[in-house]
Structure 1
Amino acid sequence: MKLPAPGRPLRYRLFLLAASGLLPLAIVAAVVLAYISGERAHDARATALLVSRALATAIDAELRATVSVLQSMSLVDELHGGELEEFHALGRRIAASQGWRAVVLADPQGKLLLSSAHALSAPAPDAVDPESMQKAIATRLPVVGTVTTGPRNNQAFAVRLPVLRDGQLRYVLSAVIPAEHILGVLLRQNVPGTSIVTVLDQKLTRVARSRQHTSPGPSPSLAALLATPEREGTGNTTTLEGMRSHTGFSRLQDWGWTVVTGISAEDADTGLYSVIGAVGAGLLASLALAAFVAWYFSRDVIEPIEALKAAAQALGRGEPVLVSRLDIAELQDVGAALKQAAVDRDLAARERETLLARATEALRQAEEAGRSKDEFLAMLGHELRNPLAPMATALHLMKRKGDPGTRLEREVMQRQVTHMQRLVDDLLDVSRITGKRLEMRMQPVRLADVVRHAAQSVQPVLGLRRFGVEVAPDAEDLWVSADEVRLGQVLTNLLGNAIKFTGPEGSIRLALRRAGTQAEVEVSDTGLGMAPEVLAHVFDLFYQAPQGTDRSRGGLGLGLAISRSLVEMHGGAVRATSPGEGQGSTFTITLPQVAPPQAFVESSAPAAPEGSHARVLLVDDNQDAADTAAALLQLSGYEVKVAYDPGVALTLLDQFVPQVAVLDIGLPGMSGYELAQRVRAHRNGARCHLVALTGYGTAADIAKAGEAGFAQHLVKPASPVDLLRAVQRGVGEAA
């Protein structure tokens, strides 16, 4: 253990005494200088914001003027009379007068009909910036596109106007404007030479900049400032030229462009440096005088202090401490203390080495135990899930074939497989939760759908119990931010718990209601209930209520603990209540509501009914998994083609036009991502709905599947219900 220093040198104390009179002055000077500097920086940022607002207004006016010209052109008789040759001539005249590159006319699908930059008889070129074209078609509102570089390295952007007649979209009329047009707007505003003004499009590509630079985008610090969703803002940035700037930005709300003004920090601080220099010089001179006074009065005691210093250094290095007799009594006491500290140091070092060795061994054993536990659980989950998946599918197929002679045996096997699957899932989930490795895929979820799906999932095990589902009328459109799978797992756990502790003649109720800004889901039963001492520990890990030696209700005591952890990870809470033993129990979940997603559209496409003969392509190199899944789909009325190899799958496409393709990702010779792209490129797979079936289930894996063209993502082992639901959804969307 390192001992504290015996004290500060006398020379230093004398220096502090002499310099202490300067401290208030230095503090005041520093505060004043910091205030002045901060005010100057604040004023510079405010000025930059005002300039950005003014320039944004000017550019917005310029763009709106362009829209007005296009609106005037959209009213001419030549356009609506179909006289494209006359309209082509008109477009050339207006483009020349306005300084535009071209006037472009497109049909309601975005296909170009004419361009004033090309002869009317020439083939129409492809649309530049198709994203803005599609946005104008979709919104039927004026749109300003992004900057695009032409074949001659010239930059331009499009202003597009949907042309409506009798409420129907007839054309999309566009003006292709050179980027230097916007630069001209900036230069007309007399921007100071020490400031830099930049106009950026929706993708932060430079439209115009008052000072030229080869980079087409903003500097990293400016990009970080613009990452805020606010319409306006200020901050400190570094320009592409390396100049520190006080920056303000303002966004054009209707167009998505951003105007940024950077004022040189050096110019803003002009005059401040001389004041700082003068104050600093005065303080340094005063400190020099204080140092001289300290040195002068410390000469008589400096040698004893140096001796103590050497002893302290020896103590720090672990060497023997030798201190000769000192003439100052107080310093002599310090020397004796140093000698005793050396003795204590040696003793403590020996004890520390012993404790460190013990702690290191205990840490090694704990880490080894943790690794062994994780490896065992991973191996256990893998080894148990592999046989469980085909067993569950085979049982489902046996049920569909309807052999009455094996019904009782199938039901026993189904209950035991489900119970085993739940135990495996609980073991793995509690390991991930306690190790903080559980990954949540949060997205807006309509809670009524989750509640009804959970109710359907427990129907096979209800027996004679009465079961009611109540969704309040004002709760039909309650949305929460959730991982839909994990939230469904919570409800299934609570319903399974209610079924386990409710007799055959009892009843269970699942209810959803709105509670202010919260959503409440309640699971109640008329079962065994709980005593107060049980209720206090019902959510504890591995806790089980006292029961007989037969342990007829089984379990590991993990379900409720996992449910509470998952609810809390969703930002909610769960509580349990019970009037007492024999009087039933109630579990209530509260979750914060969120606004419904704007892009949500209630799907009305029907699932594929029995015997619909919808076509499905199934590709998996695991032949058992592929064959059992194909049998399940064929039994459900689908026409299925199976391939164990991606090359065979592509060959099948020459004669087979699937509506849905279920593709494994880990295929031999070609990944499922590459196969998905090649399926989409095939003439018979261009409109195919793609479903990924993979053992990879992280958020990054789901995102990668989406980029490859997959519309759905299933994690192995997928249940028969999930596989059928995914195929039904795909058939509906393909239709």
Structure 2
Amino acid sequence: MACLRRRLPAARKEKEVPNGAMGQGPLRCGAWPAGPSGTMAECGAGSGIRHRKRRSMAPSVPSPVAPAAARQLKWRLFLLAASGLLPLAVMVALALAYLVDERQQATQRSAMALSRALASAVDADLNAAIAALRTLGQSDELRLAEFEAFYRMASRVARQEGWRAMVLMDRQGQVLFRTTRPFGAPDPGPVEPESVGQALALDRPVVGVVTRGSQPGLAFAVRVPVQAGGTYVLTAVLPTDRVLNVLKRQSVPATWVVAVFDQSGGRVARTRPSSSSRASPSLQAMLATGRPEGMGVTTTLEGDQSHTGYTRLAASGWAVAVAIPAAEAIATAVGPALAVLTGLLASLALSAWLGRYFAGNVTQPIDSLKQAAAALGRGERVEHSPLAVAELDEVGAALAAASEQRERFMRELQAGQAEREALLRQVTDALQAAQEAGRVKDEFLAILGHELRNPLAPISMALQLMALKGDEATAPQRRIVERQLAHMTRLVDDLLDLSRITGKRLAMRMEPLRVADLVQRAAEAIRPVLGARTLHTQVHGDVAEAWVSGDEARLAQVFGNLLGNAVKFTGEHGRIALESHRAGDSVEVTVADDGAGMAPEVLQRAFEPFFQARQAQDRSRGGLGLGLAIVRSLVEMHGGSVAAQSDGPECGATVRVRLPLASAPAPREEPGPPPAAPGAGKVLVVDDNRDAADTTAALLAISGYEVHVAYEPDAALALVERHAPQVALLDIGLPGMSGYELARLVRAHPQGARCRLIALTGYGQADDVLMARRSGFDLHLTKPAGADVLLEGVSRLMGGPGPQ
């Protein structure tokens, strides 16, 4: 039903689609009913499309905007004319891309060439220093070891060359003098001993890395072994400004960046000042390749993308890098690119003019088609006449065909709408009938329970009175009636329990329960009906202290139904087993018998409500077929599962109930002894069923209570006035006044304000219990209530166990 209701609006929207979309989208089959007017109206001057004005079945839609259609055609003609320029545009784009790439490659080559030239200049400056040191190394003063005279000569040469200092060391690396210190003064040793070791080991000149010495500024050492076999190492300490001056002498553009790096990657000189002493990450990656020279795209320390080339000095391992901004390379290609783009734009403008010119030749027929489409959208009939353009003639014919199809579609749509509305009415009526049937069923079950339990109550009370009187002569007949009464009560309870379960109205009272106790009580409850059958009960050791969370009464009902079925389908001398054991995180209770068993087709449907296997005509194993259905529902409500197994007819059956384990409850204090009996009390019994009222009164009277009986509400109120009872048992279905109304009147009476009320009724569903509580009842008992239950309830409300 819900699905049909959700689909109905969609169907209504579908009816509106042709009226709102015909003029703007794909044409669909449809039709209009004939209107009062039969005149023809032409659509524009020179039009070949005519339409008849008809009464529209849907709201009219605005006509399409004329300029939009014209622009669409002009745009297509423009594209047609411009498509001839596409190969030229592609060639121009490729040429521009080649030009830009060539400019970039040329820029990189320029950077590479400049780095080579600067590398040669830096290498020449370093070689000049090496040559000067070698010349000094050949002096007589050093050859004769006249170190003080050689010190004065070295100091003079260092000043002339602009060096920071000159250092003389022996083969062991011991400093003999440093020109920045007085001759003979102690010296801490070389600032960079690694290059000293290299010069001695390789016996050739070595250029050290950039370091910061005792004097301000950065410097580097040029070390040359002198005298035969490298007897001494002569070192010139040069400032890095010397290398920077070499770079500046080359007149490099201010936007370019030139830098020199030593063999460790440290910066020796840079034309653009920077706080970093290393190269940018991209340049470091290029230098890390170890090649003698290379070029590529890098990013400078200032963040500018550049085309970079570098050259490495073979003798010293230094590298000279030149970076030219990428923007300069692109700027050289801007002029040619602008000229080419200007030509392309002029060609496109010409194409647009041509498209507009040729579009004018088809504007008039298109206007005619446009007006015809708008008429079609308004629901007017469209007729086609030839146009000047063949393709547009086809469109006009399609519009006329769409007009005919739409008329047919509208007729079909109306018929379908009427059919859907009729179907909806049928489904709505069926749903209301089903809801009414459900309500009637609930009322019927409630009345059925009441009407069946009312006669059962006096029968039960009479049997219990007979038992209390101890008449042994009628004991066999009484037991027969008791068994049949219990059977009838169980049938009524099963029927009403199934109704509550399917209607999700069955309330559960969950509490921790010991499995061993449940099994033991189930076995004790079934023993009176076993006859000659044997019942074997076993609780395995792993279940002795196992607990589950459940409703004790409902679990007792589960095991009682299973054991009752086992007794029903097991012969007089058969065997029944009730066992329990652990199964993972669950406990499994098994009821097995060697009785009638089940065929496979019966086993598959055993847990369905009202299902019964084929029986003999005498129905000696009769029932309503609800026992196993209730068992499955109750077990699933406890989070468990139930399954049946049988090897076939006459092979017995096994039913396994599995329940999840729960934690054991905290120990509780044992209740103290019950209070002493308070003595006889006054009880009022009100029931329009005289047999039920009289038997209940007799049971209470035998138990020692002062009992007063009323068969109607007015008599009950008079008895309340005269006797002020302490407890009143009220039936609910009383003549002239319900038990709920009587309860409120008793509560309002001065003599009944302290009276405790018990609802003793055949209405036993959850709603009935709730209504009783709201009406002021202290206790709700469902007929037929057992004598012990009834006496226990009266005694509890009296304040004690009651007289005997």
Provide the TM-score with structure 1 as the length reference. Answer: 0.48
Larger Rg: 2
Q: Whose RCO is larger (CA < 8 A, sep 6+)?
A: 2
Provide the TM-score with structure 2 as the length reference. Answer: 0.45
